[in-house]
Structure 1
Amino acid sequence: MFTGQAHAAVALCREALPVFRRMGAQKNEAITLTRLGCARRALSDVDRAADHLRQALTLARDIGAALEEIQARRALGVCEFERGRPAAAVRHLTAAIEAARRLQAAEEEAGAEEDLERIRTRVIEFDRLRL
């Protein structure tokens, strides 16, 4: 996502959230929180991104929105890695993979596996550089 697009996405999400909350559209709220978190991450605002993604995860879990929970968890895993928390990243991505398998959401499972592999590769490269 380009910076200009990320700024626009943040603005749209911030505009949409109160509307969905007033309507009681919790699934749409969870989706929007995930998108807001991803946009914040694209702007390198990883702490605020993680806050939005945790809210999305909690809401999706509370309302039983399994696919939205997987998507929020996957985005949170990537965000946690960028926050310097690789163990938390692995936990979230592993949980997303397991949930995607239970839901038979092949695309989400494959995406989370790719994210996890990318993180593992970066950790290995970092360890090599430290030696």
Structure 2
Amino acid sequence: MSTPIPNEPTQELPQTDWRQLGGPTPSEEVPPTAPLPRQPAPAPQTAIPRIPPVQLVPKVSGAAIAWYVLALSAAVLAILIGAGVHLSATSVWIFLLTTVGLGLVLSALATLLRKNDKAENFKSKHK
């Protein structure tokens, strides 16, 4: 409990019965253990429309995938060289050609899969 600061003016609040200030009378008081009256929730007036699930398919071109893999391989090479790994020019070319080939294969697969998805969507819409 805090003690008042010596030179601070204090004010005594009057002791007033809260019922005189407009509170409930003793007959209106509800004991604290009484259950609250429950009312059923109102039924919704309109049915909520059902939103169909959306499948997000990224629209990525094959060239973007190939460039991404090429940039990733260049970053890996830079990290290896920065770490002090001594690479010959032949191994660098083999690494770059391998990763570019991997990027091209991935882009071709992505293109084929996207074409198959478009064909299936067309077939399902026009049955």
Is TM more than 0.5 here?
Answer: no
Q: TM-score range by the shorter chain?
A: under 0.3
TM-score by length of 2: 0.26
Q: Which has the larger radius of gyration?
A: 2
TM-score by length of 1: 0.25
Larger relative contact order (Cα-Cα within 8 Å, sequence gap ≥ 6) = 2
